[in-house]
Amino acid sequence: MPSADRISGCGFVVDTSASCCCTCDLPSGLCSWCWRSVLEPAGRSSRLETAGRGSRPEPADRGSRPEPMKIGFDASVASGQPGGTGTYAVQLLNALVPMRPDWTFVLYFRRMTDANPLLAGLGDNVVRVAVPGRTNVARIQLALPRQLGQDAIDLYHSPGYFLPLRWPGPKVVTIHDMNMYVQARNWLRLAKLRAWADLSVQTPLSARVARRIIVDSMSAQRDVTRLLRVRASRVRVIPLAPDPYFDEAARPEETAAAQAIGDGKPYVLFVGILSPQKNLEGLVDAFASSGIWRQGVQLVIAGADHEGYQRELEAAAMRASVAGFVKFPGYVPRPTLRGLYGSATCLVLPSYGEGFGLPMVEAMACGVPILAANRQALPEVLDGGGQLFDP
């Protein structure tokens, strides 16, 4: 059986001291008996009502091994240059698929031609299906329910906010944060309006129809229960953990690639999507005010720019007279990222709010000092393992 660390590395943190109620040799929470305990309210007969499949009774005695399940999963969130949600989805499947070879995992993509790490590997118990749609709403709310019924799915998990409302089977959704509401002013930009509208409308609807809601932190649980008005008993806190890849030291070629980004000089590192809610203009101003650039220290802001926000950051660096010391390598692949963490002077997360802050635990795995804003989940996750500041 995988160790608790490796289970938590996929995005599930499991108490392995809690014995399972069946004979599957898995920790409580990872077998189909335990899925049923998650999906069924207390006191109700435990059945899975599935579209196109009818109902399936539980095994006659609790010592018998439960019947295999067919799990639907939204793999589209890992397409392109995945951020935190895409990384969560990839690592979740990397751990769960080999742990349950008797289950079938049906992964749903927008297109089979997308750049997506989930299009290859994993295992023989994985089926991949394309569900196209002109818009996100059309794909998830019109095309996907039909496909789930045809595929006789037992349970569907969305690792990122959106559920197919018209499909009547059991659904689980992961809601990583409520920043579309609590940070709304940072979303009201032309490049983000459609994404903001989708999240603002569909997230509360998904929460309403989900059997269980997964969040990454106690902070996110408080926001979800308060803003979406759902009972705390329906929301499970399952903290994230770093990809085990970051437990190992960077290889020489990874270190060399990282040092080339920083011009071979010491650097302060930020990792994440380039977005106003990350408070990156504040980071550039703080870097300029600190004066450490006079000693040759660089600021490396690593992450995908989906909004054209990098131009504003470059302008901020120009105004602060530190343009030559601020580097924007864009989205970096995992090997280069490990090198960046390993060679950084420190990681800084100045965000106005995060539902978790995955780069912090990746940096912890690499032994990098951390400075983080004292907002939302960041103090909870850092838990004394670094320094907090008021952004």
pLDDT per residue as tens digits for the range 50-95: 333 333 334 444 445 567 899 999 988 888 777 888 889 989 998 8
pLDDT value at residue 26: 40
pLDDT per residue as tens digits for the range 285-312: 999 999 999 999 999 999 998 888 899 9
Q: For residue 233, with 0-12 CB atoms within 10 Å meaning exposed, 13-18 middle and 19 or more buried, which class applies?
A: exposed
pLDDT value at residue 331: 92
Question: All domains of the chain, ordered by start, with CATH?
Answer: 4-237 (3.40.50), 248-389 (3.40.50.2000)
Indicate the pTM of the whole model. Answer: 0.80
pLDDT value at residue 3: 38
pLDDT per residue as tens digits for the range 113-149: 777 777 777 888 999 999 988 888 889 999 999 999 9
CA distances from 139 to 44, 168, 196 (A): 33, 17, 17
Runs of H (alpha helix) within 100-143: 136-138
Rounded-to-integer distance, Cα 334 and Cα 109, Å: 22
H/E run at residue 206:
helix 193-209
pLDDT value at residue 23: 36
Low-confidence ranges of the chain (pLDDT < 50): 1-63
- Measured N-to-C along each axis, helices 84-99 and 358-365 cross at an angle, to the nearest 10 degrees, of 60
Mean pLDDT across the chain, nearest whole number?
A: 82
pLDDT value at residue 308: 85
How many Cα atoms are found within 13 Å in the side-chain-facing hemisphere of 162?
Answer: 23
CB 131, CB 110: distance < 8 Å: yes
User: Nearest to residue 99, comparing CAs of 25, 20, 37?
Assistant: 25
